[in-house]
Every structure is written in C-alpha cells, then in structure tokens.
Amino acid sequence: EEAKKIVLELDSSLPEATRIKIKQTPEYRGKRIIIQGWVHRLRVQGKDMTFIIIRDGTGFLQCVLTGKLCKTYDALTLTLESTMKIYGTLKELPEGKKAQGGHELIVDYYEVLGKAAGGEEAFSAKLNAESNADVLYDQRHLYLRGETASKVMRVRSVTLRAFREFFEKKHFNEVTPPLMVQTSVEGGSTLFKLDYYGEPAYLTQSSQLYLETMLPSLGDVYCIADSFRAEKSHTRRHLSEYTHIEAEQPFISFDDLLNILEEMICDVVDYVLKSPVGEYVYELNPDFKPPKRPFKRMEYAEAIQWLKDHDVKKEDGTFYEFGEDIPESPERKMTDTINEPILLNKFPVEIKAFYMKKCPEDQRLTESVDVLMPGVGEIVGGSMRISDLVELLAAYKREGLDPKPYYWFTDQRKYGTCEHGGFGLGLERFIAWLLNRYTVRETITYPRFIGRCMP
Ligand code: 4AD
C-alpha cells in the first residue's frame, strides 16, 4: 500500500535522453539514454538498490535503481521477462568490472510496459533446467529467449549473410524458386504430399531442378529456401523442414565444383569469425579451428576401403561393399576419426540421384561429392549434372520416373545444353558443426521432425 503511493516523475531539468539500442551504448558513455527491453535478470540488494539486466535483442545492459526508484509498487513486484522503458545516464565502470560491457545505466526514471506473469505461471517455472527435451520443444517460443539459444540464432543470422556476401562477390544471382512442386528430386520416399486444388503436389525436397532452368537466363544462380523431407526416423541431423542453400553454375568442371565448395566454406567461416558474433563461436565451441584449404579429397571407393581397414562393419557383422550406401553412423565414425573436412566424391550410380553425370573415366561412378564435417558428417551434397538429352531420358527410365512431369527440365537439354553442376548445403548442419551443437534441432528456430509441428 505504501509502495503504491510512490509515483515516479520524469525530471525535466535533466539533459534530453536519446532512445538507442544496447549495441550502441559504447558511443553513449556519459550521456542520458532510453533503453527498451525485457528484464533478463533481477537482483535486489537491500532496500535501496536493485540491479536489472535488461535485454533488447542487441545485447545486455546492467541498470541500477536506487532510493525511491526501487521502492515503487512496480519495482517491488517486478518479474523476469517484463518489458520496461528505462531512462538513465551511462556510467563507465572502473577497470576490472568490464563484465557488463564496461558500463552500467544509472537509472533516473522507468516505466514497466508489460508485466510478465509471476508465481506458478512465472517464466522460470515454465522453463527450468531440469525440463526434459519434449517440454523444452513445447516451450520453444520461450526457450529461444535464453542466452545460448539466442547466440545460436544470432550466429545463424550472420551465417546467412555470409553466404549471401560470398555469392554476391562471385556474381551469382539470387532466385526464389517455387516450393510447391509436382516433381521429386531426391526420390519418392521422403516426399510430403499436398492436396493442390484436388491435384497431387509436393513440398519441394530441393530447388536444384528449378535452379538449373535459370542458368540460361541468369548464369550462376543460388537460392536460400526451405526444403522438406518426410524423414521417418529420429536422428541428430534430420529435420522435416530445413534451410537449404543451393547453387548452380553453367560451364564448370567437376574440379571447379570441388574448389568452390572449399572456398565458400572457408570464406563463410572467416566472415562469421570476423563479425561481432565471432566470439560466440569460440564460446560455444572452444576447440573450433577454421578449416584449411585444400580439404582432404577422398573417393567413395577409398572410403569403403577405409571402413574395412578400420574394422567398421554393418549390423550383421559384414563389411560395407562397393555399391552400398554408407549410412550415417559409419560415415560419422570415419569423419570423426579423420577429424578434418572431407570432400567424399565419385559415388556409384546406383546409390545416387537420377540427374548425376557419370565419370568419363568410369561409367560405374558419378561426378558427385558430399562434404563431410567432424561431429556432424554430411553437410553438403552436390554433383555435375547429366548434360546429354539421350542420357537423361535413359536415367528417367533407369529410376522408373515418368518423364512427362519433367518436360520443362528435359527442355534444358534440348535448348542449348551445357556442362553444369551445383550443390546444396543444409544450413542447420553447417551451424551444428560450427557451434558444436549436439543436434540440428538446436540450430533452427522451430524444429520440425516426426511427431512435432508445434509451436
Ligand atoms: O544431399 P541432398 O539430398 O542433395 C540435394 O538435395 C541436391 N539436390 C542439392 C543440390 O545439388 N542442389 O541434400 C543436400 C544437403 C545435405 O547435405 C544436408 O546438409 C541437407 O541438405 N539435408 C538435410 N538437412 C536437415 N534435415 C534433412 N532431413 C536433410 N536432408 C538433407
């Protein structure tokens, strides 16, 4: 009751306050500012002092309330995650107290804009450290406010920019292909079916075929779009919806393709490390070492031999033989043991997609590549594409694909064909590697996997 009588008033004799973001605070030392954000932490120290760490999406700032300011009803009932508008003067902290960015805000006035629920409904009760994974996914919208999650999302944001910068530097055009399609790219088993005004359609598995159609129009092209895969098992690195960074180039060789992959990955890492979120990489992944060029190049046949030499067997106790797919677990074992990026290449025709070009020197193999990273395994899949019309028609037949819905893709081979190739990189896997996250589910805002499409 006492507290309710205390009314705060703006002191008009103080210098004019500038509304800024926390990120800008280093330029505003000694000045009067306004910050708006969420109460991240709260510490009451005796009757006359309260510390609030405020968060605005650009950083954290310690705010100090003294005297009357910490005796109001709002101050006494303040809860974590409430929103506030805070006026004060930025004071530089003495050496050795640099933890909060070297300064704190000496508050002279504030308003509580939206008080967060308290008691049983309090933020911390919804989301405590003991919560199991399922509860955390149910509360993902709240979990994302946490320090680790927001660092991961910030690195993700800068990484997207880094990829765009790389493609810009290389004179690629960005395109936005359709995500509702009537053709499969990577086989029928993982297609999400869709009722398209009564007609069957799918959510796209990859924008590759559409990128290929853009080559004669725009030359080198790329897209950053979601791809969808109805993956029926739970793994650390599979999502039902993921962000796919895909690129396609005309008139290149297989070697050009391998080279640009290396260059892109190294450039993007470099960009992120030099950015303001670079420190988060080392915070979340203290042992991180930027990869060095050239990456190790290993043919599929060598990988099969490596698995034999290292006694890595199938569940039935036999060895993997040439022509068999190398699943996630042995692939991870090999990559983790070698412990450096690998350009695994020249996979056999029978385990790869219909559109892949065969190796001129060995028709059993394709000019294909997976980039494997320690801790995650495959982060990129790419290849040279069939450029010959007759060969493409034979490939449809071999894979049992009806060529009819692919007529527009086939036309690319009819009207000015060329050697070309490209790749797709899974952004979530790239971030999982960069930040050493256990699963790709932590590197996306709202993960989608079998059994989860909410929130
Ligand atoms: O190897 P994939 O299937 O290749 C393609 O889709 C090609 N058409 C791409 C192209 O050449 N334009 O997928 C490419 C990458 C994988 O290396 C992986 O990083 C990611 O996409 N990926 C997934 N990421 C998360 N969850 C899934 N279910 C994924 N499936 C593929």
Q: Which atom of ligand 1 is nearest to the CA of 229?
A: 28
**Residue in this structure with the two tokens 């680790």, named with its chain if needed:** 148
Q: From CA 55, how far away is CA 257, in angstroms rounded?
A: 43
Interface ipTM above 0.90: yes
Using an 8 Å Cβ cutoff, are 100 and 63 in contact? no
Q: Where are the domains of the chain?
A: 2-121, 138-442
Query: What's the 328 CA to ligand 1 centre distance in angstroms?
Result: 13
> End-to-end CA distance of the chain, in Å?
40
Per-residue CA distances from 425 to 207, 295, 302 (Å): 12, 16, 23
To test the pocket of ligand 1, the residue of 184, 229, 241, 373 to mutate (highest count of ligand atoms within 8 Å of its CB) is: 229
To test the pocket of ligand 1, the residue of 156, 159, 186, 450 to mutate (highest count of ligand atoms within 8 Å of its CB) is: 186
Average pLDDT over residues 253-266: 98
Q: Which atom of ligand 1 is nearest to the CA of 423?
A: 11
Per-residue CA distances from 240 to 6, 420, 447, 451 (Å): 54, 29, 8, 10
Question: For residue 271, is pLDDT > 80?
Answer: yes
Residue 189 per-residue DSSP state: G
Average pLDDT over residues 292-297: 96
Using an 8 Å Cβ cutoff, are 432 and 426 in contact? no
Query: What's the 337 CA to ligand 1 centre distance in angstroms?
Result: 23
Highest mean pLDDT among 100-104, 215-219, 231-235: 215-219
Write down the CATH number for the domain with range 2-121.
Answer: 2.40.50.140
Query: What's the 427 CA to ligand 1 centre distance in angstroms?
Result: 10
What tens digit of pLDDT does each residue of 169-193 get? Answer: 999 999 999 999 999 999 889 999 9
Using an 8 Å Cβ cutoff, are 385 and 421 in contact? yes
Write down the CATH number for the domain with range 138-442.
Answer: 3.30.930.10
pLDDT the model gives residue 125: 86
Question: For residue 385, is pLDDT > 90?
Answer: yes
Q: Which atom of ligand 1 is nearest to the CA of 247?
A: 12
Question: For residue 445, is pLDDT > 90?
Answer: yes
Read off φ and ψ for residue 243, nearest 5 degrees: -90, 120
Q: From CA 455, how far away is CA 143, in angstroms rounded?
A: 12
Per-residue CA distances from 288 to 107, 158, 415, 434 (Å): 40, 17, 47, 7
Q: From CA 37, how far away is CA 248, in angstroms rounded?
A: 43
Q: Which residues of 158-189 are buried (b: 16+ CB within 10 A; e: fewer)?
A: bbbebbbebbeeeebeebebeeebebbbbeee
Q: Which residues line ligand 1 (CB under 6 A)?
A: 185-186, 206, 208, 229, 231, 238-239, 242, 244, 246, 378-382, 422-426, 428-429, 440
What tens digit of pLDDT does each residue of 85-128 get? Answer: 999 999 998 877 666 688 999 999 999 999 999 998 999 888 87
Residue 313 per-residue DSSP state: B
Q: Which atom of ligand 1 is nearest to the CA of 190?
A: 28
pLDDT the model gives residue 98: 63
Q: From CA 181, how far away is CA 203, in angstroms rounded?
A: 6
Q: Which atom of ligand 1 is nearest to the CA of 426?
A: 19
Percent share of the chain, pLDDT over 90: 92
pTM of the model: 0.96
Q: From CA 372, how far away is CA 306, in angstroms rounded?
A: 15
pLDDT the model gives residue 129: 63
Identical fold between 2-121 and 138-442: no
Using an 8 Å Cβ cutoff, are 387 and 394 in contact? no
Using an 8 Å Cβ cutoff, are 336 and 355 in contact? no
List CB contacts of 188: < 8 A, sequence separation 6 or more.
none
pLDDT the model gives residue 99: 62
Question: By C-alpha distance, which of 228, 206, 250 is closest to 353?
Answer: 206
Q: From CA 19, how far away is CA 33, in angstroms rounded?
A: 6
Question: By C-alpha distance, which of 59, 57, 75, 64 is closest to 111?
Answer: 75
Using an 8 Å Cβ cutoff, are 376 and 429 in contact? yes
To test the pocket of ligand 1, the residue of 163, 206, 335, 444 to mutate (highest count of ligand atoms within 8 Å of its CB) is: 206
- Residue of the nearest CA to atom 18 in ligand 1? 426
Q: What is the mean pLDDT of the chain?
A: 95
Q: From CA 190, how far away is CA 231, in angstroms rounded?
A: 6
